[in-house]
A and B are shown apart, each in its own frame.
Chain A
Amino acid sequence: MAEIVIKNLTYVYSDESGVALEDISLTINSGEILAIVGHNGSGKSTLAKHMNALLLPSSGSVTVDGMDTLNDEYTLDIRQKVGIVFQNPDNQIVTTVVEEDVGFGPENMGVPTEEIIERVGEALKAVSMSDYARSAPHMLSGGQKQRVAIAGVLAMRPEVLILDEATAMLDPKGRQEVLNIVTKLNSELKMTVVMITQYMEEAVIADRVIVMHRGMIVKDGTPKEVFANGSEIEKYGLELPPMAQLRDELIENGVDIPKDALTIEELNEALCPLLQKS
């Protein structure tokens, strides 16, 4: 299974505009959902693009299953193993028919025709878009387009799925659709997921959260660990997920609830007994 190992990665923009990533070391374990959060310009997208050789390190190394991204013999294998879904749904769909677009990756990999058709069918089914196989992408909603984009990556049978702010341009419904698919892929197919996001509530569903700030990793831990301290998170231009904000406000005012409650369920559980006792 794919494991991405990043060692002392530094990336400097070619146009003198500075250091985008500085001395990053990180191992992404197979099967985990990793959320990367950070304010605009913190380097999170740049980091993601290193994971499938779209960008190459200025120094340090990135390896996928032992294959170094700097070795261009491996480029195609790495890109097959690590798929990225980008932010703007319109700018990553290549053809005018949904199923043909999903087949685009396998076509590039040289997969035989019969198998492409099979893979496309499976991929569309996995994102519940089979009914739209013959549709034109520009007639779909944002959430549907992102699901097609995910299917396009799935058809390459990757081991790691990276969502580079893939929900940022979607409405709440579309966002939920995409998140549901992603958690399903992780639990059913054991797909490793790297989720770059602006929304802290999305990071809560991850197994592990990384906070980036000025090109560096400043925090790395479970959601409970990372979102334990509000003032620290705010220092990095972020905010706690709403439930954690509420939790801190209540604790500050002397309400006795667990310090690591993060989800609606957890708060409900903690608050119910307190409020019911009469």
Chain B
Amino acid sequence: MMRDITLGQYYNTDSVIHSLDPRTKLTLTFGYLILIFLISKMWLFAFAAAFIAVVTILSKVPFSMVLRSLKPMRWLLLFMFVLNLFMSRSGEVLFKWWIFELTTGGIRQALFMTFRLLLLVMGTSLMTFTTTPIALTDGLEKLLAPLKKIGFPAHELAMMMTIALRFIPILLEESDKITKAQLSRGADLESGNIIKKAKSMVPILVPLFISAFRRADELAMAMESRCYHGDEGRTRMRVLTLKKCDFTAFLVFALVFVSVLLLQNLMAF
């Protein structure tokens, strides 16, 4: 069976981190991103790394999985590293060839940017490992709710995300089926140049779009018949409530945040 795509990269287990309110996790991840961008001294990344390590242990997500989340980013990381290596020229010149110049400042900058990116990706991955997409959607809707006053469609956006999550597996299966059907009618999807290949996708895309529209139409009718009429007067089955552990999490993070900034400003090195 296909891996359950609606769960994204959610790692199903029971942990303190999993049980945190999605709003807490979204807010803290955001705070964490800010912190990473505020850090200007290399050794302070050790704090951030330690923080991530502790959260990973608490979340019971295997370290190997967190590291694997970096894999799709490896080319970007390498690119950023090389770019920074030669772009910033300060400090002692170690090596020079043609227009390339390797400086101690360059090495420092390259390492710095790489660490920053690494920590960034690991932090956000931890959030998606420990929160289901549907919980994230809920959390996002609640966090964005105040913006409704200025006309921001927070509820509609969340509803769209929910429906998208629901229909992604259905449409994937459907595109697989249509592809097979056209293959059995002798469709050639592999040979030829780009234009020919794009053309050969038409018999797959047209039915897929038609089907998606038909489904949307039927779903709209089904939702309407179940009294859906937008956000007005709507209650929720799952109410998000902040628990003690959420407050503890905020407190711990605030401590980390403040102490890192204090260290950064007080220490001379």
Please determine if A and B sit in direct contact within the complex, based on CB atoms under 8 angstroms apart: yes
Residues of chain A whose beta carbon lies under 8 Å from any beta carbon of chain B = 49, 52, 54, 76, 79-80, 83-84, 86, 88, 90-97, 99-100, 103-113, 116-117, 120, 136-139, 152-153, 156
Also in contact, A93 and B166, with CB within 8 A (given A54-B225, A139-B4): yes
Residues in B with CB closer than 8 Å to A138 are 6, 166, 169-170
User: Could you tell me which residues of chain B, from 2 to 36, have a CB within 8 Å of some CB in chain A?
Assistant: 4, 6-7
* Pair B218/A92 contact, Cβ less than 8 Å: yes
- Given pairs A84-B225, A108-B227, A116-B237, 18 additional interface contacts (CB within 8 A): A49-B221, A79-B227, A86-B218, A86-B222, A91-B219, A93-B166, A94-B166, A94-B223, A95-B166, A100-B134, A106-B237, A109-B227, A110-B233, A113-B235, A113-B236, A116-B235, A116-B236, A136-B7
Interface string of B137-153 (1 = CB under 8 A from A): 00000000000000000
* Pair A96/B226 contact, Cβ less than 8 Å: no
Residue B162, interface by CB 8 Å? yes
CB distance from B66 to the nearest CB of A (A): 25
CA distance A91 to B226 in the complex (A): 13
Nearest A residue to B170 via CB reads A90
Also in contact, A105 and B235, with CB within 8 A (given A86-B221, A94-B163): no
Nearest A residue to B226 via CB reads A105
Residue B229, interface by CB 8 Å? yes
Residues in A with CB closer than 8 Å to B228 are 104, 108
* Pair A153/B162 contact, Cβ less than 8 Å: no
Residues of chain B whose beta carbon lies under 8 Å from any beta carbon of chain A = 4, 6-7, 133-134, 162-163, 165-166, 169-170, 214-215, 218-219, 221-229, 233-239
* Pair A110/B225 contact, Cβ less than 8 Å: no
Nearest A residue to B173 via CB reads A138
Q: Could you jot down 28 A-B contacts, CB within 8 Å?
A: A54-B221, A54-B225, A86-B218, A88-B215, A88-B218, A91-B214, A91-B218, A92-B218, A94-B219, A94-B222, A95-B162, A96-B134, A96-B165, A97-B134, A100-B134, A104-B223, A104-B226, A107-B235, A107-B236, A108-B227, A110-B234, A111-B235, A116-B237, A120-B237, A137-B166, A138-B169, A138-B170, A156-B227
Nearest A residue to B232 via CB reads A110
* Pair B225/A52 contact, Cβ less than 8 Å: yes
CA distance A88 to B167 in the complex (A): 13
* Pair A92/B222 contact, Cβ less than 8 Å: yes
Residues in A with CB closer than 8 Å to B133 are 96
CA distance A139 to B228 in the complex (A): 25
Nearest B residue to A103 via CB reads B237
CA distance A156 to B103 in the complex (A): 70
* Pair A117/B226 contact, Cβ less than 8 Å: no
* Pair A108/B219 contact, Cβ less than 8 Å: no
CA distance A49 to B165 in the complex (A): 28
> Which of A96, A99, A103, A138 has most B Cβ within 10 Å?
A96
CB distance from B214 to the nearest CB of A (A): 8
Nearest B residue to A87 via CB reads B218
Residues in B with CB closer than 8 Å to A90 are 170, 215
Residues in A with CB closer than 8 Å to B234 are 107-108, 110
> Which of B133, B214, B225, B236 has most A Cβ within 10 Å?
B225
CB distance from B73 to the nearest CB of A (A): 27
CA distance A167 to B268 in the complex (A): 75
Checking B214, B219, B237 against A92 with a beta-carbon cut-off of 8 angstroms, the contacting residue is B219
